[in-house]
Amino acid sequence: MTEFSSIAQALMQGIFVCQYSHPDLYAYLQKPPHLTDMERYLGKLGLTLSQLNDGEAYYCSYQQPQEYLPELKQQFKSIIESLKPLVSFLRLIQQGTNNDDVIRAGDLLRLAEIQTIVENSPPLDQQLNKIVSSNLFKSSSAAIDGKLKQVFKRLLELDYLTQANPTRQIYQATSKWTLLQEQIDFINDVEKLSLETIAEVKPVQEGLF
């Protein structure tokens, strides 16, 4: 399989590409001729290569979304379901580090430091318990380190994090957090929810389309 074919296949399988999540794929798509060829190829399949912030990241989407409403409804439902635990995790990091900023692409998260913070804060421990009770981060571990490892494992699988230093359990945020913020803003407009209440609302709401 050629490099072009493997990257095209990865995109069509839902891989999110940025300089942190998949640096090799990102470097390939940063070259204008390669980007043009990929856009043309996906276009023939009824797909398009969507970009974040003029090339911060790339992902595949439908060229004519109105033709795929059942699939899009299911995707939108999945986004709604994942919002509560993801926003809860963001709030845990913000409260634990006393930093009001959201997680940004390139930020480093040290699992050991977060574990120490949670261990010394009963409210954050309770918040972590709620996070790992969700389907997104489901964990049966009774230990804080086991719960956090499951959360970070899933964030790796979902392309929100990449391993910067596996030995020291240091992780780096990808640009998918930027995409999450855009999704939150969109849902916020549709559902008229404030960001402060997203983590408290029911994760699934019907009739959005």
Note the Cα 197 to chain centre separation in Å. Answer: 19
pLDDT (0 to 100) of residue 24? 95
Residue 3 CA to residue 149 CA, distance in Å, equals 33
Q: Which residues pair with 50 in a beta bridge?
A: 59
* Half-sphere exposure of residue 176: CA atoms within 13 angstroms, side-chain side: 21
Give the C-alpha distances (Å, rounded to integers) separating 151 from 16, 45, 161.
19, 35, 11
pLDDT (0 to 100) of residue 65? 61
96 or 99, higher pLDDT: 96
For 4-59, what is each residue's pLDDT tens digit?
999 999 999 989 999 999 999 999 999 999 999 999 999 999 899 999 998 999 99
CATH no. of 3-63? 1.10.10.2250
The pTM score is 0.81
**What are the residue ranges spanned by the domains of the chain?**
3-63, 70-198
3-class secondary structure, 26: helix
Residue 126 CA to residue 39 CA, distance in Å, equals 46
Please report where in the chains the tokens 């072009």 appear, as a residue.
4
Direct distance between the N- and C-terminal alpha carbons of the chain, in angstroms, rounded to an integer: 39
Lowest mean pLDDT, pick from 69-73, 99-103, 156-160: 69-73
Q: Which residues of 162-171 are buried (b: 16+ CB within 10 A; e: fewer)?
A: bebeeeebeb
Mean pLDDT of the chain, nearest integer = 85
